[in-house]
Each structure stands twice: as C-alpha cells, then as structure tokens.
Amino acid sequence: MALIVQKYGGTSVATAERIKAVADRIIRTKEAGHRVVVVVSAMGDTTDELIALAHQVTDEPSERELDLLLSTGEIVSCTLMAMALRAKGYEAVALTGPQAGILTEPAYGRAQIIRIEPERIVRELDRGRIVIVAGFQGMTEEFDITTLGRGGSDTTAVALAVIRRADRCEIYTDVDGVFTADPRLVPRARKLAEIDYEEMLELAQQGARVMHPRAVELGAVYNMPIVVRSSFNDNPGTLIHKGVAVEIRNKVRGIAHDTNVAKITIVGVPDRPGIAAALFAPLAEHGVNVDVIVQNASLHGLTDLSFTVARGDLSKALRLVEPVARQIGARDVVASNGWAKVSIVGTGMQHSPGYAARMFKALADRNINIEMITTSEIRITCIIDEARVQEAVQALHDAFQLEQPELA
C-alpha cells in the first residue's frame, strides 16, 4: 500500500462540478489500495478576489488579518472536497493547515514551514480515511494563521509528501504537464515525459508557471518524485525526478519566459569597493528581489550598473536606490518597464560549448536586441523587449529543435 499525496490547483476545484469530478479521481486512487492525502488550493480566483476585497476596505490591510482572510479560501475548498467524498460513500476528513500540524515562522504572506507535526494526519489515515488538507497555510507558535506565499499549496503538498515519505507527490493542474515552452506562444511545444529537479527549478524560477519553485526545491532536497498532470483528462503527465538521461539529442530541455521584468540602471557609478553592497543592501532589507545584475567594465573610474526587479517592485526599488545613488555620487538613475526574460535550460548544456552562441544568433537573425545576459551552469537568460517575446521563444524553440522527440 503506497502513500500518495495529490494536490489540486484552483482551476481543478473551481466549481462544485469540478470538486465532484476531482472527488472521483481521488476515489480511483483510494480504490487502487493507496493511502491518500489531498491538498487543495482555493477555488478558482478566490485568493485574488479576497485580496481585492481587502483593498476595497483599506489601502493597507494588516498583514495578520490578510493572511487569516486568505486562509479561508483553502478552507472552503477542503471542506467541500471532504463533503463530496462522503456523499460518494467514502470516509474523508478536512483539515486546516494548523489542524494538519503545519507550523511556520511568524512571517505573514511568505511564511516558511518550520516543521510538521503529522500525528493527526497519521491517525486519520490509520482509520482508513482520505485526508484533505487546506493548502497554502500554517500556524505560528503563537497560534496565528500564516500563508506561505502565492502558489504555496504546491509547497504544502511536497512538504507533506516529504514528511510522511510518500511514494510520490502528484500535482494536478489545468495543463498536461511541463512543456518545452509555453504552448500558448509556441503551438508545437512538446510535453516532456520527464525532467530533472534542477532543470524544473530553473524553468520555474525563470517564469514557467506550472509549479512553484519553492516546492520543486523541496522535492529536490529530499528526492521526492513529483508528477505534474492535468485533472481534466487521463494523459500521463511529466515526472520530475533525479537522473534524467543527459545524453539525449536535445540538450536544451525547455524554454521559459517572463514578462514581469522592470529594469533600473544607475549611470556613472564611481568604481570603488563597497558601492554595490551599499546599493543592494537596502533592497535586500526591504524584501525586494533583485534578479539579473549587470555591471559594465569601468571607464575612467566610472561604471554603469543595471539590474532587474519584478514590475510591482519598481517604484519601491527606486525609492530605496535613489538616495544611495545620490550619496555615492552616481550621475543618474534610469528606470524602465516593458522588458521580458527568455531562458534556455538544460543540464545537457553544461559540458557542451556553443549554446550561448546559438541562442544569440537565433535572436540576432530575428533582429531582436539583447539588453542583458545572465547564465547559470544549466541556463542562459537574455533580457529583451517585451513586445518581441513570442517571436523570441518561437525562434529559440526552432533553433534548438525542441519539437523533436528526445531519443537516446
């Protein structure tokens, strides 16, 4: 008898009809003789709606109450799911995050799980029940409800799977799995049968929306096999695991893109030790995530320093950086929106030269200008004009022949 953790995202449980359909799917797993723990997201756009509602009441909702409010979304879906299962004749129990023993640090809106006390879940499973856990939430030592950050139900699911040493964690969503590129941009994008943790992590961090990066990271650390698949059909999904064959024809596994990119350039920065630290420290202190950073070689003791942030952080980042720039005697601070990132990812690129050149050529052939470049061992990212993103992703998909099946 295996233990399987299944997570169903917002679209999978968006309506009463959907909840009943998902209940049937859960029952199939139960009937196959497995112990089942289910994690659910809030129905449809509930979380967005609750946030909007809070902002109708006040411009600055208190963090603690906002988390408590948002946690209700997942409580609605988990209770309804348990009711649907009971109505079909199956023993099921709905648990909130705290009831499931999920303890977090006291950081509202982005809490990390400290530990899970699984006794209640174990007891319910031992009684033969299907356990339905509200995703995205936990509780502090002070009994305050916290949320894990947007998309956090994935993290709940993988964390539970890890803690209970589940045989696998299944992430059900509204797409068939992980694709070589976003199929809305590239009609011939191909579903991947499998992918490495590392590759999935890079793709998720660079904008592939199918899974939350934190959950992938957790899976990687504890080597938990994760299957991403659709709750709307029976197609096999994508298996995220360790040890995907590297010697495959396609050394680029996939392409990610992200249009949530704003750029700040600090012009004429004196080239002295400590300047970059002075500029970035306040951003870190205020929780602004800096992504791509590029510093030019200095000329006459001056350099330009550019970096990107999420668009929603642009004004905050400017507010923090402008006074420092003035203080250190930089000439100017220039901010702009309207950028996008495109990334190629694949562990197979590590020891094969020439991938960067091919990427740049594919973009150059379309006359797409590269604004900034960054790399990791298994990724190359270019910042380009947002208006060209679809063209760029398509060009890269063609250049690396990703529509072709991977053969050993």
Binding residues for Mg ion, per CB under 5 A? 10, 41
44 lies in the binding site for ligand ASP (CB under 6 A): no
Is residue 216 within 8 Å of 204, Cβ to Cβ?
yes
- Among 153, 206, 303, 306, which residue sits at the site for ligand ASP (rule: CB under 6 A)? 153
Nearer to ligand ASP, 14 or 325 (CB): 14
Among Mg ion, ligand ASP, none, partner that 358 touches (CB below 5 to 8 angstroms by kind): none
Contact pick of 152, 207, 213, 219 for ligand ASP (by CB under 6 A)? 152
- Token look-up 């250049």 returns 399
Question: Residue 47 or residue 394: which is nearer to ligand ASP going by CB?
Answer: 47
Q: Does 47 bind ligand ASP (CB under 6 A)?
A: yes
Q: How far is the CB of 47 from ligand ASP (least distance, A)?
A: 4
Instruction: Identify the CA nearest to 255 among candidates 157, 394, 159, 361.
Output: 394
Residue from 18, 37, 73, 204 binding ligand ASP (CB under 6 A)? 73
DSSP 3-state of 270? strand
Q: How far is the CB of 86 from Mg ion (least distance, A)?
A: 25
Residue-wise DSSP of 315-350: HHHHHHHHHHHHHTT-SEEEEEEEEEEEEEE-GGGT
Pick the stretch among 107-115, 144-152, 371-379, 386-394 that binds ligand ASP (CB under 6 A).
Answer: 144-152
DSSP H helical segments within 106-147, as ranges?
119-126
- Residue 50 makes CB contacts below 8 A (sequence gap 6+) with 42, 69, 70, 72, 73
Ranges within 3-22 binding ligand ASP (CB under 6 A): 10
Instruction: For ligand ASP, give the closer residue by CB, 72 or 259.
Output: 72
Q: Which residue has the tokens 């970035």?
A: 280
Q: How far is the CB of 210 from ligand ASP (least distance, A)?
A: 12
* Helices and strands: H and E segment counts in the chain: 11, 18
Q: Select the residue whose beta carbon is closest to Mg ion and give its number.
A: 10
Scanning 148-156, 213-221, 285-293, 358-366 for contacts with ligand ASP by CB under 6 A, the matching segment is: 148-156
Closest to Mg ion by CB, 174 vs 332, is 174
| 102 contributes a contact to ligand ASP by CB under 6 A | no
Residue 50 sits in the site that holds ligand ASP (CB under 6 A): no
Please, which residue, 135 or 138, has the CB nearer to ligand ASP?
135
* 219 close to 238: Cβ distance less than 8 angstroms: no
Identity of the residue, 10 or 219, whose beta carbon is nearer to ligand ASP in the bound complex: 10
3-state secondary structure 86-108: HHCCCCEEEECCCCCCEEECCCC
Q: What element of type H or E holds 8?
A: strand 3-8
Contact flag: residue 136 with ligand ASP (CB under 6 A):
yes
Q: Which does 92 bind (CB under 5 to 8 A by kind): ligand ASP, Mg ion, none?
A: none
Cα-to-chain-centroid distance, residue 44? 18
Cα–Cα distances in Å, from 365 out to 173, 373, 389, 395? 36, 17, 14, 9
Residue (73 or 101) nearer to ligand ASP, CB: 73
Q: How many residues in the chain?
A: 408
At closest approach, how far in Å is the CB of 39 from ligand ASP? 9
Find where tokens 């094969």 sit.
352
| Residue among 42, 80, 134, 380 that touches ligand ASP (CB under 6 A) | 42
Pair 359, 399: CB distance under 8 Å:
yes
Kindly list the residues in this chain that would bind ligand ASP in the complex (CB under 6 A): 10, 41-42, 47, 73, 135-136, 150-153
